[in-house]
Amino acid sequence: MDGLEQSKTRRRSLTYKTSTCWTGGRSGTLSAEGKPAICFSSLPEWKGEAGLWTPEELFVASVEISLMSTVMSFAAQHRVQVLSYRSHANGVLEESKGDYRFTRIVIFPTITVAASAAEAEVHAILREAQRQCLVANSVVSIVEVNPTIVIQ
């Protein structure tokens, strides 16, 4: 078995490191080595500072970003030329039995592809990406994708 075959069969473990630093009140900074810091706070409804990223927004954004990255990876593998990708996402936070949980994240991508791609092919890539999306597969919330495909 050559090295490539071994790497496909061997399970890997990756560790991601972040750091937070309290800056006062319910706010702080998030950092990771070699990356710019992100200022964050609790939700203003929970006495946080308005205008800063919240953990809730970062959670929803993580799922949205991961889906985009996965779609782009599969599009490249299938040689589908993506001309643009934009999305927005809604994360539904609900209270149940005294606890809050994200119950659903709905992602609305608008994907523009070259005329050489078939719409059915793009939908197949989206389904594959949704099945393989690392972050979406790591959360308990239901993740839905409602795409708009534009052939140009």
The model's pLDDT over 9-42, given as tens digits with 9 standing for 90+, comes to 667 899 999 999 999 999 999 999 999 999 999 9
Q: Which 8-state DSSP code applies to residue 46?
A: G
Task: Say which CATH superfamily domain 55-151 falls into.
Answer: K homology (KH) domain (3.30.300.20)
Q: Tell me, what's the pLDDT at 100? A: 92
Query: For residue 129, is pLDDT > 60?
Result: yes
| Pairing assessment for the beta strands 148-151 and 99-113 based on DSSP bridges | parallel
Q: Is 38 exposed, middle or buried (0-12, 13-18, 19+ CB in 10 A)?
A: middle
pTM here? 0.88
**Residue-range domain boundaries for the chain:** 3-46, 55-151
Query: For residue 8, is pLDDT > 70?
Result: no
How far is residue 71's CA from residue 111's CA, in Å, rounded to a whole number?
Answer: 10
The mean pLDDT value for 130-144 works out to: 96
